[in-house]
Structure 1
């Protein structure tokens, strides 16, 4: 643990950097019409540019966790940030050349770097505070994910008019590097290596056989999928359905992740203060609300009503999602909590990876009604799992 003020300096500089990293992650979704036109691809292929990065995150989640348990996480943050920057530059050059295959590879490797940066960031924030403040600090850091979605939806269409849609990639990468410069100053003289008892093979296998872990991980699959269905397709849906410029559509879509920042911050407080640290009622409630709300979205024909729907769905999505992170850890012993968390991350990122591709194919085949119907189905599945799973202890 480091001095309290320095701990917050570490957290906030990492938070700022990860906002820009996530903006790079979701940028193709904010610019889908331009991406499709520039590369000459359909909705499914365009959505793969978001999904393949998330596939990289899923594939490297557990290896990154194992590696970061053994090295100085401060150094890992610098190396992974540099790798993210290289990914943004490679993606820009590939997209400018119209090389779709190279662009996919660049984004996939970017996902590997991003999940390493995310895990190292969580480790640093967790290690910088005492137990009483860890939850709050991690919740603050976690708001960088919807925060990055907001930045992309609001700024990517504007940046694209100046630097082209592909030029947005290195812009976000450079801004992330500049923010990490602030972290470098704040963390000078600090070495953060995670000291965790490595579980035995039997304990590791017990986690993989634990149905409660898989139930919560299944909820993560549904929650991550819902998050990326909305964030991947809302800018395009709003622009096309309401005949608005892409920039205006992005601004309206930004309400979903913007209110999600509030949801992430308040989820832990509501769970701890109003529900006595119980997670299940809030997670279940979020899925119950999302099921009908998701299906209703394509039937809305007034922008004002759509804004209300986005505020409600954006809030409840993040309130439930953020509680899954401590939920799965609390279902197992302390020395295998990291393993359970890695399982949840892997399954959740697979949901995030698959959602834009599946919804893109549904949109190509049957329109936005089918895609939002799929979102409703995911929420129903999440509700069933939340009803069946045990309460955390």
Structure 2
């Protein structure tokens, strides 16, 4: 259950960027739709790279331990979101770097939180159920994120001279807070041994 919560919070930050990232870059930072779409498209490409190398990272660099790389890439996820959300204005290369780090981090975390760690600590005869619980929790987190983000964004909208203006302060902390909670819950299974 703890890994399911960790993965659900990670999915909140993942789908926040997937669902709202282009809008955020346009409304908050002033990017064109084309530039905003390009920046956000970096994330899934780097996610593929993170996913491909996640097993090598844990098996070769950390002797099969998943908790250390989960912590490293969880913190990378928090750092990337912070760069993306808290550095104001158009800083193209900072936003690109943020999406590279975010994509790599999410790619690794999907494998660890959503799969490898759950299978490692679940009893062998319950590994499929463990993956199912983590998967369900993850998509519940993703769905709740879309609703909550929409409510928070719309709730902080004002109209100035006929133009919609958004205050993303609550969104920033919601998305970063979700990433931090994902790291926190992953740390709670740090010393759990396989059954």
TM-score normalised by structure 1 residue count: 0.43
Mean CA deviation greater in 284-293 or 312-321: 284-293
Cα distance in 1 for residues equivalent to 2:169 and 2:49: 28
For the Cα contact (< 8 Å) 1:235–1:246, is it kept in 2? yes
Q: Does 1:329 align with 2:119?
A: yes
- Give the secondary-structure state (helix, strand or coil) at the position aligned to 2:65: coil
For the Cα contact (< 8 Å) 1:297–1:372, is it kept in 2? no
Q: Provide the residue aligned with 2:174 in structure 1.
A: 374
Q: Deviations over 1:166-222 (max 9, x none)?
A: xxxxxxxxxxxxxxxxxxxxxxxxxxxxxxxxxxxxxxxxxxxxxxxx111111101
User: Could you tell me how far 1:328 is from its partner in structure 2?
Assistant: 0.6
User: Could you tell me how far 1:299 is from its partner in structure 2?
Assistant: 3.0
For the Cα contact (< 8 Å) 1:279–1:391, is it kept in 2? no
Unaligned runs of 5+ in 1: 1-213
Matches for 1:44-193 after TM superposition, within 5 Å: none
For the Cα contact (< 8 Å) 1:291–1:375, is it kept in 2? no
Unaligned runs of 5+ in 2: 157-166
For the Cα contact (< 8 Å) 2:83–2:94, is it kept in 1? no
**Larger relative strand fraction:** 2
Q: Provide the residue aligned with 1:247 in structure 2.
A: 34
Cα distance in 1 for residues equivalent to 2:169 and 2:44: 21
- Give the secondary-structure state (helix, strand or coil) at the position aligned to 1:278: coil
The number of aligned residues is 180
Instruction: Please point out which of 124, 136, 147 is paired with 1:346.
Output: 136
**Cα distance change of structure 1 residues 339 and 286 upon mapping to structure 2, 3 Å threshold:** same
User: Could you tell me how far 1:260 is from its partner in structure 2?
Assistant: 0.9
**Cα distance change of structure 1 residues 307 and 286 upon mapping to structure 2, 3 Å threshold:** same
TM-score normalised by structure 2 residue count: 0.84
Q: Provide the residue aligned with 1:308 in structure 2.
A: 97
For the Cα contact (< 8 Å) 2:82–2:176, is it kept in 1? yes
- Give the secondary-structure state (helix, strand or coil) at the position aligned to 1:254: helix
For the Cα contact (< 8 Å) 1:239–1:246, is it kept in 2? yes
Structure showing greater radius of gyration is 1
For the Cα contact (< 8 Å) 1:283–1:323, is it kept in 2? yes
Q: Does 1:218 align with 2:5?
A: yes
